[in-house]
Amino acid sequence: MANILLRDQEIADIGTYDVYVQHGGYEGLKKALSMSPKEVIALVKESNLRGRGGAGFSAGMKWSFVPEVEGPKYVVVNADESEPGTFKDRQILEKNTQQLIEGALICAYAIQASAIYIYVRGEFWDIGFNIEREVEKARAGGWVGEKIGGADWGCEIYVHWGAGAYICGEESAMLNSIEGKLGQPRVRPPFPAVAGLYARPTVINNVETLANVPPIIVNGAAWYKSIGTEKSPGPKIFCMSGHIAKPGNYELPLGSTFRQLIELAGGVRDGKQLKAILPSGASGPLLPATDKVLDTPLTYEDVAALGSTLGSASVIILDEDTDMVWAALKMIKFFRHESCGKCTPCREGTYWLEQRLSAIYHKTATKADVALIESVAVQMQGKSLCALGDFATSPVLSALKYWRDEFYAYVEPAKPVPATKAPARKPAAEAAAVAGD
């Protein structure tokens, strides 16, 4: 199957305006402008395109929540790619820029938005400037600004840089950041579709999600649903990292298995045995490398049935030498550092999980601390304003579920070695005779 999203692997410079147009670029927006906004939403909803940022929610359904009211509406592109092990959006932003711009414009037309904000993470300085250059090329082509494509509708595009905060990948914290406020989640309701950016109706979509939109408009919902599975249709970019032979991004139909994906990426590095998989970076529960797991279809519902989540499909591979206590501690350190501190369960919970996990790892804890971190993690679940609090519990609880013995090995006292009876000393004269003196 030819790549639909990672087109740069087959077409050089596809992210530039001229090359993109030569290969069918903006045909999707042109077709969308010949339809009514409601028809565009209905088509995307029929395709069952699910959000690629992690939640897997229907994109068309999200667009349909925006009320038909007078005044400004906005589209915010979530390009704040900060999840450990995730780098798919970066490749689209760098190498397939125009397809993202076109997808965002189609979304804006569908909800009749007047402006698009592309929120790139603070470290993406060069990427952000390149996006601005490509936006100006699209403007020169008549696709940005007033009366787009000759229609009685116009839309501006702005690039907004974040400040390197993981929490700003959460949609309401992102809105606060764009508005110049502290990047912390909002209490909901109201939800962004009704009162989002500047308290106006707003759609927030991930980069990969919007890159799927132009081919859907051009080829239709039936074509899109012929890829993947019934409940999880379309292509998906899988980020492969960790102890894998060929790290990188791989585009496959949803429904492929972990085993197929790992084989495509060259297998476990150095020929070692696979021990565990993180299907969605640090924020999803660990899975053991059993045959059942390896042969599970990579869909939102099938991975959830295993007790984990597909999320953004940032697959991190852990080999047989991985210390699971070390791995859990490394991930909780990240979440403790990135917690915005607004709500107590996350602020205090991540702190104490790091403290007690560190004590376990450095062998200064007791067996009771293993039970304590489990209790703290369980009590954090479902108590935070955003998902970060729940994400932080995932590596701890899943590591305890499958590798509890490794935690106990750090806190249980070493078994005493039986003393051996020292041999009787021979008289000096006898010893000397034996030695031949």
Q: Which residue, 319, 334, 354, sits at the end of a domain?
A: 319
355 domain-assigned: yes
Measured CA to CA, the distance from residue 3 to residue 142 in angstroms comes to: 27
Q: Which residue, 270, 285, 319, sits at the end of a domain?
A: 319
422 domain-assigned: no
**pLDDT, tens digit (0-9, with 9 covering 90-100), for 421-434:** 555 555 444 433 33
pLDDT number for residue 93: 97
SS3 content of the chain, % helix, strand, coil (to 5): 50, 15, 35
Q: Do 349 and 283 have their domain in common?
A: no
**319 vs 433, higher pLDDT:** 319
Q: CA torsion 353→359→363→368, rounded to 10°?
A: -60
Q: Do 172 and 29 have their domain in common?
A: yes
Question: What's the pTM?
Answer: 0.91
Mean pLDDT score, 149-156: 94
Contacts of 88 (CB under 8 A, 6+ apart): 81, 207, 208, 237, 238, 239, 249, 312, 313, 314
**pLDDT, tens digit (0-9, with 9 covering 90-100), for 103-132:** 999 999 999 999 999 999 989 999 999 999
Q: Do 305 and 342 have their domain in common?
A: no
> Which CATH number characterizes residue 364's domain?
1.20.1440.230
pLDDT number for residue 164: 85
Q: Do 278 and 354 have their domain in common?
A: no
Q: Do 53 and 153 have their domain in common?
A: yes
In this predicted structure, the answer to whether residue 30 has a pLDDT above a threshold of 80 is yes
Measured CA to CA, the distance from residue 220 to residue 79 in angstroms comes to: 26
Q: Do 188 and 268 have their domain in common?
A: no
Q: Which domain holds residue 369?
A: 325-411
416 domain-assigned: no
How many domains would you assign to the chain?
A: 3
User: What type of residue is 197?
Assistant: L
Q: Do 12 and 141 have their domain in common?
A: yes
Cis peptide before 233 (omega within 30 of 0): no
Mean predicted lDDT score pLDDT of the chain: 93
388 domain-assigned: yes
> Which CATH number characterizes residue 241's domain?
3.10.20.600
Start-to-end CA span in the chain (Å): 86
Mean pLDDT score, 257-283: 96
**pLDDT, tens digit (0-9, with 9 covering 90-100), for 230-249:** 999 999 999 999 999 999 99
- B/e letters for 253-267, b = 16+ CB within 10 Å, e = fewer, are bbbbbbebbbeebeb
**pLDDT, tens digit (0-9, with 9 covering 90-100), for 156-212:** 999 999 988 999 999 999 999 999 999 999 998 999 999 999 999 999 999 999 999
**pLDDT, tens digit (0-9, with 9 covering 90-100), for 33-59:** 999 999 999 999 999 999 998 888 999
User: What type of residue is 164?
Assistant: G
With cut-offs at 50, 70 and 90, classify the pLDDT of residue 417.
low
135 domain-assigned: yes
Q: Do 16 and 61 have their domain in common?
A: yes
The percentage of the chain sitting over the pLDDT mark of 90, rounded to a whole number, equals: 89
Measured CA to CA, the distance from residue 104 to residue 79 in angstroms comes to: 12
420 domain-assigned: no
The percentage of the chain sitting over the pLDDT mark of 70, rounded to a whole number, equals: 94
Q: Which residue, 224, 255, 284, sits at the end of a domain?
A: 224
Q: Do 41 and 131 have their domain in common?
A: yes
Q: What three-state secondary structure class fits 330?
A: helix
The CA distances from residue 395 to 104, 175, 240, 354, in Å, are 34, 28, 18, 12
Q: Do 122 and 266 have their domain in common?
A: no
For residue 323, count CB atoms less than 10 angstroms from its CB and return exposed for 0-12, middle for 13-18, buried for 19 or more: middle
pLDDT number for residue 53: 87
431 domain-assigned: no
Q: To which H or E segment does residue 158 belong?
A: strand 156-161
- Residue 77 forms beta bridges with which residues? 118, 205
pLDDT number for residue 429: 41
Task: Decide: 313 and 279 in contact? Cβ < 8 Å.
Answer: yes
pLDDT number for residue 261: 97
278 domain-assigned: yes
User: What type of residue is 234?
Assistant: G
